[in-house]
Chain A
C-alpha cells in the first residue's frame, strides 16, 4: 500500500487528580459498585478540576510526549487534536495547545468524530507524513466529557472520565512503515443515537436549552452497544484481510475503552486471549477521544508495549464513526 517509514518518537498521558469512585456514585444516586462494575468494568474515573480543560490536559500529555522524544516544540510541523469537547467553539483546541506548548507555526486543527476522534487524527497525520509534506506530528486525544454528564441518568453518568493522551510520530530516523493497514468509516443513520445537542448552532446555550436539558449527554446505550460490537468485528475482519495477518500474530488489541462488555464480547467472538487486551477502563472510565492514546502511553510506560510489536487499534463513537489501524510500534 506504499506507507512511508514512520516511528513513534514519544508518548504521554494525563489524567486529572480528582478521582471519582463507584462508592462516590453510591452516595449521589441509586447505584452500587457491583452494578457499575458488572455493567461496565469501571471502578474509577478522573474528573477535570475547574481550571482544567481539553487544552490544558492536552498540553501536559503533549509536553511529556515531546520530552520523551527529545524534541523541541519547534520541531512539530503538524498538531492535530481529536476532541469533541473543545475549550471553545473556536479557535481550535489544537491552536490553544500549540500556543501553550510553544510550537511556533504548525498546521493545527481539531478532528471531531466523537470517540473515534484520535484515530481519525492519527490517520490524517500519517497521510501528511506519507505525502512528505511534514516530518513530525504531535497527535493528541483530549476530552472533558464530564462537563456534559446528565447526573439524573444513572446509566450514562457513571461511564465517563476526563483525560488526554499524546503521541509524537516522525519520519526522521524511521526505518520501517508504522501503519500496516487501516479502515475508517461512518454510518450517519445513527447520528442521533449518541449526542450532546446544546452549545452548537442548532441549540445555542440559552435559558431555554438548559431548561430542556439540551446541554447534556444523550446515548441510546443498547443501540450503541450493538453498533460497537458489530463494527469491531467488521474492522478486525478487514484488517486481517488487508494484512494477511492472523489474530495470533498481533501482540496487543486496544479497543476504545467505552465499556468492558463490548471489549469482552468482541474478544470472545475472535478468541483473543485476555493477555493480549489492553484495558484501562477500570481506572479511567470512558475518556472519549483520549482512551486510545492514554492506553498506549500507559502501556508503553509500563513496558507492556515494546518496540517492534504489532498493535490493533479499534475506535467507534458518535457520528456514528469508526476506525481501525494495525500499527507497528517502531521506536
Chain B
C-alpha cells in the first residue's frame, strides 16, 4: 500500500475522531496544533488506525508521530 492509498483510508477515521472535515486532513497538518487533537484523541486515532491496518504502533514510536504525513509514512513503513 502506498502513502496515497493509506492517506485515503485514514482520512475518514481521523476526520471522524476529531469531528472535522475530511479535506482538512492534509499531510502537512499537525494533529495537536492544526487539527485540534489532544493527547487522548491522538491515542484514539492511533488505536483505530492500528485496527484498520492490522498493526501495532508502540508508544515510543507513537510519541514521534505529530503530523498526518508522519502518521501515513509510519504506517507505510510498518504495514505488512
Chain A residues in the interface with B (C-beta under 8 A)? 38-39, 221-223, 225-226, 229-230, 259, 261, 265
Contact = CB atoms under 8 A, between A and B. Distances in A.
Contact of B39 (A222, A229, A230): A222
Interface in B31-59: 38-40, 42-44, 46-47, 59
Given A226-B47, A230-B47, A39 B40 contact: yes
25 contacts: A38-B38, A39-B38, A39-B40, A221-B39, A221-B40, A222-B39, A222-B40, A222-B42, A222-B43, A222-B59, A223-B59, A225-B40, A225-B43, A225-B44, A226-B43, A226-B46, A226-B47, A229-B44, A229-B47, A230-B47, A259-B40, A261-B40, A261-B44, A265-B44, A265-B47
Interface residues of B, number: 9
A97 to B, nearest CB: 36
Q: Which 9 A-B pairs have the closest CB atoms?
A: A222-B43, A225-B43, A261-B40, A225-B40, A226-B43, A222-B39, A265-B44, A223-B59, A39-B38
Contacts of B44: 225, 229, 261, 265
- Which of B40, B43, B46, B59: most chain A Cβ within 10 A? B40
Contacts of A259: 40
Given A229-B44, A261-B44, A265-B44, 15 more contacts: A38-B38, A39-B40, A221-B39, A222-B39, A222-B42, A222-B59, A223-B59, A225-B43, A225-B44, A226-B43, A226-B46, A226-B47, A230-B47, A259-B40, A261-B40
A221 B39 CA distance: 9
Contacts of A222: 39-40, 42-43, 59
A230 B56 CA distance: 13
A7 B50 CA distance: 42
A261 B46 CA distance: 15
Nearest to A226: B43
Contacts of A226: 43, 46-47
A39 B42 CA distance: 12
Contacts of B42: 222
A131 B46 CA distance: 45
A223 B39 CA distance: 11
- Which of A39, A229, A259, A265: most chain B Cβ within 10 A? A265
Contacts of B59: 222-223
Contacts of B39: 221-222
A296 to B, nearest CB: 26
Nearest to A230: B47
Nearest to B44: A265
- Which of A221, A222, A223, A230: most chain B Cβ within 10 A? A222
Contacts of B43: 222, 225-226
A93 to B, nearest CB: 32
A38 B39 CA distance: 12
A265 B46 CA distance: 13
A225 B41 CA distance: 10
A143 to B, nearest CB: 23
- Which of B38, B39, B44: most chain A Cβ within 10 A? B44
A221 B59 CA distance: 12
A320 B39 CA distance: 21
A221 B43 CA distance: 10
B66 to A, nearest CB: 14
Nearest to B62: A222
Contacts of A38: 38
Nearest to B16: A268
Contacts of B47: 226, 229-230, 265
A265 B13 CA distance: 13
